[in-house]
Every structure is written in structure tokens, then in C-alpha cells.
Amino acid sequence: MTIIDFILLLIVAGVCGAVAQSLVGFSRGGCVVAIALGFIGALLGTWLARALALPEIFAITVGGQSFPIIWSIIGAALFAAVLSLLSPGRRIR
């Protein structure tokens, strides 16, 4: 995997994480949090898809590595929803 492939993978994960954050309505942090959320969502989403014997709906290949777009968004949305339930609410003054 070259540096260009790695940067492209980071961009794709960031977009998936940002889409998941906007779906859930939970946004803490910036680009780094969205990228981490995209990667965690990819792990959680593919695990969930394999456990339920569901096919890979839409995946792109970057540098020989397959990145599941739809399962990443679904997994990241689930993870962000759990985080929003566990985090304390914002206080309004």
C-alpha cells in the first residue's frame, strides 16, 4: 500500500464517519474523530454483516484492501448512537 492509497483510505473513512455522525446527530470532534469513526464502523459493520450472513453491498478496493462503504456507515452510525447515549448531555445556560 502506497502513501496515496493510505491517504485515499483515510478520506473514504472520514466521509463514511461524517455521514454516520450526521445520520445520528452526534458530533464530537472534527476530521480525526470522523476518520476513527469510519474505521470503527467498518470493523463493526463487517462483523455484523458476517454474523447475519449478509452480502457486501458496496465496497471499494484501495491498494488491494476492500473497504465496505455501506457497512462502514451502518456500523459507525450504531457506534455513534451508543456513544451519544453514554455521553452526558450538553448544559444550556
Tens digits of residue pLDDT in 10-22: 888 889 989 998 8
- Asked whether 34 and 18 are in contact (CB, 8 A), the reply is yes
CA–CA separation, 93 and 85 (whole Å)? 21
Q: Where are the alpha helices (DSSP H) in 52-89?
A: 69-86
- Asked whether 76 and 16 are in contact (CB, 8 A), the reply is yes
For 8-60, the pLDDT digits (tens) are 888 888 899 899 988 988 777 788 888 898 888 888 988 998 899 888 888 88
